[in-house]
Amino acid sequence: MSSKQKATNVTRVEHRINQAERERRNGHCGGVLWFTGLSGAGKSTLAIETEDRLFREGYHVYVLDGDNLRHGLNSDLGFSPEDRAENIRRVGEVAAVLAQAGFVVISAFISPYIEDRQKARQAAEREGRSRFHEVHIHADLDVCETRDPKGLYRKARAGVIPDFTGISAPYEAPTSPELIVESGSNDIETCVNTLVSYVESHFRLS
Amino acid sequence: MSSKQKATNVTRVEHRINQAERERRNGHCGGVLWFTGLSGAGKSTLAIETEDRLFREGYHVYVLDGDNLRHGLNSDLGFSPEDRAENIRRVGEVAAVLAQAGFVVISAFISPYIEDRQKARQAAEREGRSRFHEVHIHADLDVCETRDPKGLYRKARAGVIPDFTGISAPYEAPTSPELIVESGSNDIETCVNTLVSYVESHFRLS
């Protein structure tokens, strides 16, 4: 599907409450931390642990997780190349809405293609003052495959899952991400500390 | 498109921060006020005025507006019957996500079909503790057509806009909405008071 607007005779309605007001009340700005990385790199774990820490520190924070959205918004999508791209496009748009509503959004999707991530960035930046931070959750393929928490690599090697990122489908690593988290060579706590520090310095209003 | 889940090998990830914790911090529960009514009945105006009032009273509140989403998430959709249904389906899912994140969500769409609104209710109720409140923003057709703030009825009567709700396409009024707001016979302030009172009694945690 195209990202060009199909419907005409629609005009933007101005919200009375703008993003700046929401941010003043929250004490931090809204924006998207867009995690990208291989299956098994730790995206979901780090997203949930970071959400927990940030919530305790008073942030309005929300994790968008592929596994969850697949049950709702994206339940009509499968795993064809078109459906995968549309999946990520919609996630990017929902992340943008949540960021505009004032949240620190953490999205945890493999999102292997540069073009798809670029669209997510554009969606966030289209929505006024929102920030988009590409975060590469980086662990080497052999580390991820050894972990294999969901047994997906094994299935991919056996040919049961086709087009599996890193095995039978490409992963296009970010060329200039705002943050790299080395989740292959650091423990979870260290990685979460890195993420929380990053949010403290980039989202907290002074 | 179907609302049945297409993707298999996906499992739900439990969020550490659940909706109840978000609600305790906010002092109110999350949920959806689903406005439905004819074009010109005042849905967008009442949504924005109510958002303003509720925000000033400390609520986390967010308006989902068709005109806005058409520029982003639903930019690939036109006005065919299938696209309209898919438009409303996605809005219902996004509203459910925002409600789960703790917001009082006000959605302001004509949403003329009972079946589509029923799906939105199911989406909200699927997401744990979320509440769904169908709100009929009711003004008689002749009142709406006289107001015609966007000149759409005139275009519909001239045949420029096909399948226009109330003129050349049906509007299925709610049979048992949680709230009816008589926007044809009351001024804006009265209607907003009704809505704010409703939220105070149904969303505020005691």
**B61, B102 in Cβ contact below 8 A?**
no
Q: Which member of B44, B111, B130, B183 is catalytic?
A: B111
Q: What angle do CA A199, A52, A25 make, to 5 degrees?
A: 55
Each residue's pLDDT tens digit, B35-86: 999 999 999 999 999 999 999 999 999 999 876 688 899 999 988 889 999 9
Q: B155 versus A3: which is more confidently predicted?
A: B155
In the predicted model, residues of chain A with pLDDT beneath 70 are 1-15, 67-68, 127-130
Each residue's pLDDT tens digit, A30-65: 999 999 999 999 999 999 999 999 999 999 999 998
Place of tokens 């929300």: A62
E strands along chain B, which residues? 31-36, 61-65, 104-108, 131-138, 179-182
Query: Which residues of A participate in catalysis according to the annotation?
Result: 111
**A44, B11 in Cβ contact below 8 A?**
no
Q: Say yes or no: A3 contacts chain B, CB-CB below 8 A.
A: yes
Closest chain A residue to B19 measured between Cα atoms?
Answer: A62
Question: How are beta strands A131-138 and B31-36 bridged, if at all?
Answer: unpaired
Give the end-to-end CA distance of chain B in Å, rounded to a whole number.
Answer: 41
- HSE-CB for A161 with a 13 A CA cutoff: 21
CB contact under 8 A, B77 and A51: no
Q: How would residue B130 be classed by pLDDT, with cut points 50, 70 and 90?
A: low
Distance, in Å, from the CA atom of A127 to the CA atom of B20, rounded to the nearest integer, reads 29
Distance, in Å, from the CA atom of B31 to the CA atom of B101, rounded to the nearest integer, reads 9
Place of tokens 């966030």: A124
Closest chain A residue to B88 measured between Cα atoms?
Answer: A73
pTM score: 0.91
CB contact under 8 A, A76 and B2: yes
Each residue's pLDDT tens digit, B21-34: 999 999 999 999 99
Name B119's Cβ contacts closer than 8 Å, sequence gap at least 6.
Answer: B3, B88, B89, B92
Q: How many CB pairs under 8 A join A and B?
A: 139
Q: What angle do CA B85, B140, B172 make, to 5 degrees?
A: 30
Q: Which residues pair with A5 in a beta bridge?
A: none
Residue B91, classed as helix, strand or coil, is helix
Minimal CA separation from B163 to chain A, in Å:
14
Each residue's pLDDT tens digit, B168-184: 999 999 999 999 999 99
CA separation (Å) from B80 to A6, B76, B113, B162, B173?
A: 11, 12, 14, 10, 21
